[in-house]
């Protein structure tokens, strides 16, 4: 049976400027990207909060794509807003403005049904809140969290404690190095693994991602794209593909499944960055996802050399 | 029959400082790294020049490892010297000093036997000289060149003309972008391919390398290393592994062979960067090379999901 996934995180209105254009007050937030990605593989529920100004069309969009919004609260006040821009190298966002608004008082309280979800993704929020949500879960079989530099600087101990309790930790390369205090992504992956998570995923944007599992590190390239319109949400989309695939197929202890989950993460992220906001995810069909997955698999596949095999 | 490889390039004395230490006047130069890498797979000859001060032990080292030095000239004067250092991110060298010395007047003149080599690697020298060497070759079946930013800025047209005449072009990511005038490595690979070479290889250091061949781009990760002592020579070592494997096994038109050549390039480069200078290549045995190749192959291999296959 496919596990149900709960995602706890932000739903936001983003304003973004990249070398390819500019958008204002579009759908954003980690929970939006994650859920629109993971829904390709498994049922998803969002636990999140928006303000009264949250456009009805965004809510309808999520609902019409099968995302369960029973944990979606609308409070008096304004929705979380983020604005940022990307330089020429395109990987790292410069935050221009953050207005937490109703998100400032986000204290997720799970319903009995939400707490019974088999899988949970704790998107980037205060690690103490992430831990509190985790404690509300009944008996999840797949738990994961993400974080950001802000929490690494301000609450490293809470984060470290959280890592000892989750199955999967997702981090960007710079975040992983900073948190682990290591100059190299591979050493960071090893160090973070030693803190408890069975799986560590380090995301490197256009350079792909690292998987640390079962005492070994595996590197995978990103799906090759000649044009990136907007990198916003790539990491949460990656997590959605990774978690969605595992929720659907299981296998945290099967490295083959984890590798496929990495490729599904890359594939989903590659769609997101081809358009602004969640545009590319909204009408994406599973057939397209699998075609790109197979394309990536074929590019990566290195056939054995019959002569080398004969020699060895 | 295994093709003989001719490499035309620098033999130098390097002084290098990295976060892992410092060395002075050690064996360096593109031809040194290339030949000590390629010799694992095929017979290699160096065409190069050194000064009277070139230490006998370096010459003896190359000769004892089977590198043919009949095209190695010793001239009155000093050997080419390069000194540089690497910052914390470790990928890009900062050149502190370059003394061309006898290398300034390097005008390679091939013997009949050298001109008859089946494969040639034109390491980073003036593209006009590279073209002149290529014209001296009788009927090579595998030709390749590398370059650097200096020539991209000073002689872009000569370089472009050269590219239309070689089978394989190797470049670092920044060089490829600069030469192609493209902001993205994938677009650069496509543009450079359109200038003529059948194969374009873009090296991205710790982030792996791109292969452009047969109208498609393939991305491969680097062999994962937790410690890099000295990145000097990684690119020429990569080229040595790539060219060596192809010289030994053929198959410029076989994408499977090209992919394996990429992995052998990565594997050879991973040895080089683990020690200063050519140290790690000197006593390296082919069995160790193949073991690391198989390790990389195994890390990359993504098994098919039986359920997905049944569904599709």
What's the average pLDDT block by block, 10 residues per block, for chain A (312 residues)? 91 96 97 98 97 97 97 96 85 88 93 96 96 97 95 96 98 96 95 98 96 96 95 97 94 92 98 98 97 96 77 54
Q: Is B303 on the interface with A (CB under 8 A)?
A: yes
Between A and B, how many residue pairs show a Cβ–Cβ distance under 8 A? 99
The reported pLDDT for the residue numbered B307 is 72
Judge whether B196 and B238 are in contact, CB under 8 Å. no
- Residues from chain A contacting residue B190 (CB–CB below 8 Å): 226
Q: Measure B76 CA to nearest chain A CA, in Å.
A: 44
CATH number at A29 reads 3.40.1190.20
Q: In 10 A of CB A164, how many CB atoms? A: 9
A310 touches chain B (CB under 8 A): no
Partner A, chain B 263-292, Cβ-Cβ below 8 Å:
263, 290
Check residue B215 and report its DSSP letter: T
Q: What are the angstrom distances between the C-alpha of A61 and each of A35, A68, A217, A279, B2?
A: 12, 11, 38, 11, 61
Contact B259 A220 (CB under 8 A): no
Low-confidence ranges of chain B (pLDDT < 50): none
Give the distance from residue B35's alpha carbon to the nearest chain A alpha carbon, in angstroms.
Answer: 22
pLDDT of residue A1: 60
Please give the DSSP secondary-structure letter assigned to residue B304: -
Partner A contacted by B160 (CB < 8 A)? no
ipTM > 0.85 (yes/no)? yes
Q: Do A218 and B299 touch (CB under 8 A)?
A: yes
Q: Does A164 touch chain B (CB under 8 A)?
A: no
Distance between CA atoms of B117 and B133, rounded to whole angstroms?
A: 12
Q: Are strands A93-99 and A81-86 parallel, antiparallel or unpaired?
A: antiparallel
Contacts of B204 in chain A (CB under 8 A): 207
Set of chain A residues whose Cβ sits within 8 Å of the Cβ of B256: 302-303, 305
Q: How distant is the Cα of B167 from the closest Cα of chain A, in angstroms?
A: 21
Position B311 scores a pLDDT of 57
Helices (H) then strands (E): counts for chain B: 13, 13
Beta carbons within 10 angstroms of residue A60's beta carbon: 11
Residue A287: φ, ψ to 5°: -60, -40
Helix (H) or strand (E) holding B168: strand B168-172
**Residue B66 domain boundaries:** 5-311
Which residue, among A272, A28, A254, has the nearest Cα to A245 in the 3D structure?
Answer: A254
Taking an 8 Å cut-off on Cβ atoms, the answer to whether A226 and B187 are in contact is: yes
Provide the number of structural domains found in chain A: 1
């Amino acid at each position: 049976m496919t596990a149900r996934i709960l995602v706890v995180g932000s739903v936001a209105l983003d304003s973004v400027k990249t070398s390819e254009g500019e958008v204002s007050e579009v759908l954003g937030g980690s929970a939006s990207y994650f859920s629109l990605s993971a829904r390709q593989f498994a049922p998803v529920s969002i636990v999140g909060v928006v303000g009264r100004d949250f456009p009805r069309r965004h809510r309808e969009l999520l609902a019409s794509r099968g995302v369960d919004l029973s944990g979606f609260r609308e409070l008096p006040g304004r929705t979380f807003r983020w604005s940022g821009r990307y330089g020429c190298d395109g990987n790292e966002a410069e935050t221009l403005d953050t207005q937490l608004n109703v998100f400032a008082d986000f204290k997720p309280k799970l319903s009995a049904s939400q707490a019974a979800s088999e899988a949970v993704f704790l998107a980037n929020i205060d690690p103490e809140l992430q831990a509190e949500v985790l404690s509300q879960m009944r008996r999840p079989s797949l738990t994961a969290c993400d974080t950001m530099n802000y929490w690494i600087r301000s609450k490293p101990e809470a984060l470290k404690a959280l890592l000892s309790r989750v199955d999967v930790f997702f981090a960007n390369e710079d975040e992983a190095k900073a948190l682990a205090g290591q100059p190299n992504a591979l050493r960071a992956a090893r160090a973070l693994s030693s803190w408890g998570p069975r799986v560590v995923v380090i995301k490197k944007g256009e350079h792909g991602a690292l998987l640390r599992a079962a005492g070994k590190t595996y590197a995978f390239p990103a799906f090759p794209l000649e044009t990136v319109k907007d990198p916003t949400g790539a990491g949460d989309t990656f997590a959605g593909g990774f978690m969605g695939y595992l929720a659907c197929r299981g296998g945290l202890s099967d490295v083959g499944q984890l590798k496929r989950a990495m490729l599904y993460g890359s594939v989903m992220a590659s769609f997101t960055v081809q358009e602004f906001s969640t545009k590319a995810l909204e009408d994406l069909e599973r057939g397209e996802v699998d075609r790109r997955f197979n394309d990536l698999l074929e590019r990566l596949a290195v056939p054995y050399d019959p002569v080398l095999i004969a020699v060895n």
